[in-house]
Amino acid sequence: MLEWKSQEKAITQEEEGACKREIKAIQKELAALQQPIKQAGLPVLLVFEGWSASGKGSIISKVISELDPRGYQVWSYADPTDEEGRRPLLWPFWRDLPPRGEMAVLDRSWYSRALTRLEEDQAAASGLVESINTFERQLGDDGYLILKFFLNISRREQKRRLEKLSDHGATAWRVTDRDWRRNREYAARAEVTELLLQATNPVHAPWHVVQNEDKTRGTLEVLRRVRDALRAALEDGAPRPLPPEQVPWPLRAMPRLKDVDLSPSTTEEAYRAELKRERKKLQKLHSRLYREKVPVVLGFEGWDASGKGGAIRRLSWALDPRGFDVVPIAAPTPEELSRPYLWRFWRQLPKDGHVVLFDRTWYGRVMVERVEGLTPEARWSMAYDEINEFERELSRWGAVVLKFWLQIDQDTQLRRFEDRQSTPEKQYKITEEDWRNRKKWPQYELAVDEMLQKTSTEYAPWILVEGNDKKYARLKVLRTVRKALERRLDG
């Protein structure tokens, strides 16, 4: 697939003139395409990878030179910052995703970072490839157009350019020891790069290896390909990925909601004593998590009035406020709606060593969005896989992931609703919507049952919490979290 050795003839002056004229013409075409891209709501990612000194910067300049800055953004990804280093590999790229109708131009990307990681640890290869392919497939599913360029120059040409940069006072600083090392190790790096590119070359996010020994020819080729791909996407829609391979998720068996025995309860005395014990243990564990840089992601779902808030509060009392955040999930903002569904959850991931408690979660997709008809079936039915993939990514990063479903029966909910309505300081907690949701109990139960069957994995299990007795429920949450952390830290 890749030609690592340049076989080009030198460019003639005449040819160069013709190339330059065509470049100018395409630049204007690209500018004219921005309006239709905006109107079609097409999100575009242009990824530039390549050898050091292969000319990424100057080709990017040519791509953007006539564009309206309101429609694109250039992102430069050097080595990870400390913020980025403490999050999953793909976190910065999720964070910076363009909204629909806009374009992101990436100067280096997840590929550079993956290659750096591979230099350190060859064994990480299959995990990296899987993470990347999943990421690009999810974006493709969401209508993103992804074009990936690898700018290729020969080892000799790279050496020549590095020498030239080194010779000039104004540019010498740009050439680092790493660049020279990589030039020496060109062959080995080419091999690894080629393997990575071949393993990540699906039809909806193809690689274009562009020979950039001659920069005019290289620039023209990139511009042509960008223009053609944009035109094609505007006419036919972005190329669609194939459905994900049916990986057998490592699912845990889950009971149906109606089969859950809601009788467990606890006495006030036992509750107080155990609460105290669990808090002490959790405090110690939290400090170990911090030191050992283990991230923890906890999700809370459940019927309205099932006691999510109370359980979250009891848990948070046991944690150092500097090391956790509670993230309440409400209806998405316009900013969130204009990007893939999981974007806002990616953005909220904790740093390693920190704990995030999600008060409602990404499972809204297959519950409220499904039941209320906010999202077409074609989209929400894909979410089981997307979510399993998301949680696998978290787990691969090293996070402890637990999801709690707080279960109550309809009588208990009614009693709690009535109590809220008659207690002034609780009144804000109950709305018309709660009553509306209650009427749809059977539809929600169906959706929740399906969700529990399809997304309780070994690495991110659902825990069903018997919630008719609030105290019992809180203790079960604390105990479950504590045990999971112990397993992780001691196991």
Residue 407: which residues within 8 A CB-CB, separation 6 or more? 257, 260, 262, 302, 303, 306, 464, 465, 466, 467
If you count DSSP H runs as helices and E runs as strands, how many of each does the chain have, helices first? Answer: 21, 10
Q: How many CA atoms lie within 13 Å of 64's alpha carbon, on the beta-carbon side?
A: 19
> Would you state the torsion angle of the CA atoms of residues 380, 386, 388, 392, taken in this order, to the nearest 10 degrees?
-160
For residue 118 the two structure tokens come to 């591979």
Closer by beta carbon to its own copies, 350 or else 467: 350
Q: How many CA atoms lie within 13 Å of 222's alpha carbon, on the beta-carbon side?
A: 34
Q: How far is the CB of 427 from its own copies (least distance, A)?
A: 9
Q: How far is the CB of 60 from its own copies (least distance, A)?
A: 5
Q: How far is the CB of 324 from its own copies (least distance, A)?
A: 8
Q: How far is the CB of 366 from its own copies (least distance, A)?
A: 23
Which of 340, 52, 67, 100 has the alpha carbon at shortest distance from 233? Answer: 100
Closer by beta carbon to its own copies, 35 or else 410: 35
DSSP state of 149: E
Sign of CA dihedral 216, 219, 220, 221: positive
Closer by beta carbon to its own copies, 63 or else 128: 63
* Helix axes 155-167 and 186-198, enclosed angle (nearest 10): 120
- Is 135:90 a contact under the CB 8 Å cutoff? yes
How far apart CA 379 and CA 481 sit, in angstroms, is 32
E-state strands within 336-461:
355-359, 400-407
How far apart CA 123 and CA 448 sit, in angstroms, is 38
Closer by beta carbon to its own copies, 3 or else 68: 68
Q: How far is the CB of 52 from its own copies (least distance, A)?
A: 13
Q: Which residue has the tokens 């309006």?
A: 35
Q: Which residue has the tokens 């979410």?
A: 383
Which of 111, 109, 90 has the alpha carbon at shortest distance from 192? Answer: 111
DSSP secondary structure, 184-196, as one string:
HTHHHHHHHHHHH
Closer by beta carbon to its own copies, 148 or else 392: 148
Residue 190: which residues within 8 A CB-CB, separation 6 or more? 2, 4
Closer by beta carbon to its own copies, 75 or else 417: 75
Phi, psi of 150 (to 5 degrees): -115, 115
Residues within the interface to its own copies (CB under 8 A): 28, 31-32, 35, 57, 60-61, 64-66, 68-70, 73-74, 76, 81-83, 105, 107, 170-171, 173-174, 284, 287-288, 291, 309, 312-313, 316-317, 320-323, 325-328, 330, 333-335, 357, 359, 425, 428
- Longest CA–CA span in the chain (Å) reads 91
Phi, psi of 382 (to 5 degrees): -75, -15
Q: Which residue has the tokens 């030198």?
A: 10
Phi, psi of 176 (to 5 degrees): -105, 170
Closer by beta carbon to its own copies, 329 or else 382: 329
Closer by beta carbon to its own copies, 258 or else 322: 322
